[in-house]
Amino acid sequence: MALDLTPEQKAAGKANFEQAAGDLARAGKMNSMATGGSTSPDRRDVLKAGLAAGAVVPVSAAVYYGYNSWVGGNPVRTALIGCGDEGGVLVGDHNPEYNKIVAVCDIRPTNLDRIFDGDTGPRKGLKKVYGEADAAKIERFSSLDDLLAAKDRLKLEAVIIATPLNTHDAVAKACMDKGLHVLCEKLMARTVARCKDMIRYAKDKGLLLAVGHQRHYSTLYAQALEMIEAGILGDIKHIRALWHRNNSWPYDPKAFNHEKYDAQYGIPAYVDSWWKEVPKKDAEKLPPERLKELAFGDPEKHGFKDVAELVRWRCSEKTGGGLMAELGSHQLDASSIILGHVHPLAVMGVGGKFFYGPGRNDRESDDGVFVTFEFPGPKHPKAHKGGTDENDVVVVTFTSFNTNEFEGYGEWVMGSKGTMFLDKEGEVYLWREKDKTRKGDTGGRDTKVTVSGAGGGKPVMEATSTWGGGGASGAPTKTAGGGPVWDSAVRGYRTELEHFAFCLRAWQKRGGKVDYTKNEKGEFVHKDIIPRCHGEVAMADAILALTANMAMAKRDRIVFEDAWFNVDKDDVPETKHAKKA
């Protein structure tokens, strides 16, 4: 597991990644991810000009992803719906030059206060992002109906949806009914059937539907993928993904503020961001009868039994998708990107409520999961039409437990020629395997590498006593000078919102509805102005996460079906495999 890496070995791994990226870029082999798979002339020219001399070139995310033609001064007028944890992250890292937030909406009054005042970490708040005076002009709404009724007055063009999972499809459809483009937070929807419904709705209305799996806009992951596609890791047979947390520390009952929080809904036993205190302000405004009125006509599907379930929605089976939806979906999305968006073959796993229980932040969702996916390798028939080797399988494991965070989170990509570690969305490390066909060859954690053969044949990592001309393109894989990682293009939050705005303006300029027509290769004809994580990409991630939950519940190995990934077919995994009530 390489948990015992020394600081020197991590430094070598980090420098190896930058060195290899630089070698490949100088050879013109770092262009595949630009503009969604096509070569970007702007990016290519910048890289050639700067990297020929080994310089570190600050390639912006806008150039990298092909939306550098944005004309400033015309930001998309946007409303944020859902002002909780994820809404706060998006507000804290959005770019007002692209998305101008003119209204916010949440049924919880405490969330409406929080989105303006901000919080710790990345949740800066509107007052800090816009300044006190301009933030005061942003309108507050406590119901979606009231917000949509003011659409024309606000001159709204788009919405960002960051509400609990069971409401995503209902909120998205209501907004699309008003002609608004939608960027919805992940997981896309509570069931695969509801994902398909959202996609079909967007196509019928001719509107953009993007989903917030931010790794599709992370320059860190983009550059890592380009290196993997160049072949320097060799034959990849295993990806080990993990996201561990420790929520086992006792909550001090004396810390419970009885004036602020309602004790009738329980006092936490542990410090746990999913099982929170219930604010009295929310409880007073949202009795069960009011929550029923706000449930889009279907309390069983889109509602909450009480305010506690609303506040702790991630802990409920009906309202959330547990660890796989909230954490695993990110990791499986990353693995899917690395493997070229091939559909998985099968999944099995073990999950359960191993720690929490009655009187101990009890919940319906699992607090520990260990799942194993089988993906087709490049020679497998499911990955390539000409593939003939059904034994070419890549094993992807994902683990998440709530009682130990020593490893944190990230993805280990293990190939026959090298290992790459993507650590917490902030750094990438690269190490070379020892070549046993060469006498005295070195490899492993301490080895410095350069990439040879980059100009002609297949690139390979070579051991070297000194590094060459330096990294590839500094800025995309590093934070801005002196700024926290949340302010950079590394994580992808800001970039996904910028690209969404770019696509929206491009369609407005083109005129007419958003066109989702596909060519004979199955690609969108206008893919350059369709969000990178559009509905069908996000649906695949939902299938991975939700089917894993079903496999764990059944204690069974589930084989994925092609029809589940086809939005034009009604087949979905929950029909066959969902746990019956």
**CATH code, domain carrying 193:** 3.40.50.720
Which residues lie below 8 Å from residue 331, measured CB to CB, with a gap of 6+? 241, 242, 243, 398, 409, 411
**Domains in the chain: how many in total?**
1
Through-space distance between the first and last CA atoms of the chain, rounded to whole angstroms: 40
* pLDDT over 90, % of the chain: 73
Does residue 86 sit within a domain? yes
Please give the residue that has the higher pLDDT: either 469 or 204.
204
3 state DSSP class of 328:
helix
Does residue 301 sit within a domain? no
3 state DSSP class of 91:
helix
The Cα–Cα gap between 232 and 235 comes to 9
pLDDT at 456: 58
Answer for the pair 319, 343: CB distance below 8 angstroms, yes or no: no
3 state DSSP class of 375:
strand
pLDDT at 21: 85
pLDDT (mean) for 203-211: 98
117-126 pLDDT tens trace? 998 778 999 9
3 state DSSP class of 512:
coil
Does residue 111 sit within a domain? yes
The Cα–Cα gap between 21 and 319 comes to 43
DSSP annotation of 492 reads -
pLDDT at 29: 74
pLDDT (mean) for 279-304: 97
Does residue 101 sit within a domain? yes
The Cα–Cα gap between 371 and 369 comes to 6
- Mean pLDDT (the chain, rounded): 89
Task: Give 162-220 as a DSSP string.
Answer: -S-GGGHHHHHHHHHHTT-EEEEPSS--SSHHHHHHHHHHHHHHT--EEE--GGGG-HH
Does the pLDDT value for residue 54 go beyond 70?
no
Does residue 561 sit within a domain? no
Domain with 96 in it: 76-214+492-538
Residue 326: which of 268, 274, 397, 404 has the closest Cα?
274
Q: Which of 194-198, 394-398, 473-477, 547-551 is the least confident region?
A: 473-477
CA distances to 516, 536, 563 from 522, rounded to whole Å, are 11, 12, 15
Task: Give 472-518 as a DSSP string.
Answer: S-SGGGSPPTT--GGGSTTT-HHHHHHHHHHHHHHHHHH-SS----B
Does residue 85 sit within a domain? yes
Does residue 439 sit within a domain? no
67-122 pLDDT tens trace? 888 866 799 999 999 999 999 999 999 999 999 999 999 999 999 999 999 987 78
